[in-house]
Amino acid sequence: MDIRQLRYFVAIVGQGSFSRAAAHLHVAQPALSLHVRNMEADLGTPLLFRTPKGVVPTEAGEILLRHARTILDQFTIAEEEIRGHSSEPSGEVRLGLPGTISENLSVALIIALHKRHPAIRLRIAEAMSGFVLDWMRTAQIDLAVVYREITDQGLATVHLLDEELVFFAPADVGSVPGLDALPLPPVGGNLPLAALSSVPLVLPGEAHGLRELINQEACAAGVCLQVGIEVDAYSNIKQLVVTGFGCSVLPLNAIRSEIDQGLVRFWRISAPSIRRSVHLASSVERPATNATAAVHALVQEVLREKVQTGGWLGATLPSPDKAAVTDPVQGVKASPIR
């Protein structure tokens, strides 16, 4: 095998078909097919499985794909170092974001990157935090922002911020059974977690990271929640609450628009309060390019500014002791987020 064949193979898997890969690479489709047949003959095993919807890697193909991506990344790094390590960072960086974080980060990050490092091409992929983490584990992305610290071997995280979860209800509290019977404090005041047990809730499904966190806190506090509707999309949760189908628990920043429009009322959860952490993940097994290191630093800077200027409602920065961790991208002690 040679580097060209590895590039072809990664492109075929990424595009999902020989024809799309051929168009993407500007290579004749028969030539691509021949390269794959030669690779399969050399390795003595099928690498791709043809389906009516396209091609997918076999188990052996998955192994080759993982190593091919690492080898191609290392070639990119070698080329960059040869051209001069101190040159302006350039190249493509793949960043995975949960949708709720992307709404708050993507535009500001792209603008900052265009001003600071115009030669970097940023590709942002959105999905639920669990899927983003899977992409990171399989080297489909270079960096990931996720809602928890990662303990996987080969990955490291930097603690970016913590955000507050709040209880919220429709503006007409009488539209939700049991809600008007609660001794509700003024809007924005503290409401014990135990009080949530007496009203129907609209929450994400059991597999959702936010639901898992809420369940853990409720279980630890001995509180049994009444979950009437399960739906993962925040937009649907908010619409169901606004129309009176129940109440919910979401990050304060996620409902700021509904609060400003007077569609919902919210209360801070106490005894205990519920907060979740946001982390930036990177690989310690694959050397980072200058471009990846630049995006890694800029994500931290943009989010820090968001929190400090009130652009991320309900978020706080971690203490310096918690923020100072070994930064695998820079290879030195990371600067605390201040």
Residue 67 sits in a domain of what CATH number? Answer: 1.10.10.10
pLDDT tens sequence for the chain (338 residues): 788 999 999 999 999 999 999 999 999 999 999 999 999 999 999 999 988 888 999 999 999 999 999 999 888 888 777 766 556 788 899 999 998 899 889 999 999 999 999 999 999 999 888 889 999 988 899 999 999 888 888 899 999 999 999 999 999 988 999 898 888 999 999 999 999 999 999 999 988 889 999 999 999 999 999 999 999 999 999 999 999 999 999 999 999 999 999 999 999 999 899 999 999 999 988 878 889 999 999 999 999 999 999 999 999 999 775 544 434 444 333 333 32
Residues 114 and 48 in one domain: no
Quote the CA–CA distance of 130 and 137 in Å, as a whole number: 11
Distant-in-sequence, close-in-space partners of 6: CB < 8 Å, separation ≥ 6? 68, 71, 72
Sign of CA dihedral 127, 265, 164, 337: positive
Please state, in angstroms and rounded to a whole number, the distance separating the CA atoms of residues 235 and 255: 9
How many CB atoms are closer than 10 A to CB 281?
A: 25
Burial class (CB in 10 A: 0-12, 13-18, 19+), 95: buried
pLDDT score, position 326: 37
User: What is the distance between the alpha carbons of residues 169 and 246, in angstroms, rounded to a whole number?
Assistant: 7
Specify if 338 maps to a domain.
Answer: no
Question: What pLDDT shows up at residue 334?
Answer: 34
- Residue 86 has a pLDDT of 57
What pLDDT is recorded for position 329?
44
Number of structural domains in the chain:
3
Paired residues of 255 in beta bridges: none
Q: Which of 260, 275, 290 is the last residue of a domain?
A: 275
Give the CATH number of the domain where residue 313 resides.
3.40.190.10
Cα 264 from Cα 252, distance rounded (Å): 12
Range of the domain at 19: 3-82
What pLDDT, on a 0 to 100 scale, did the predictor assign at position 335?
A: 33
Asked, for residue 190, whether it belongs to a domain, the answer is yes
Residues 7, 67, single domain; the answer is yes
pLDDT (0 to 100) of residue 87? 66
The rounded distance, in Å, linking the Cα atoms of 54 and 175 is: 50
Answer yes or no: do 327 and 241 share one domain. no
Strand partners for 153: none
pLDDT attached to residue 152: 85
Tokens of 338: 């201040």
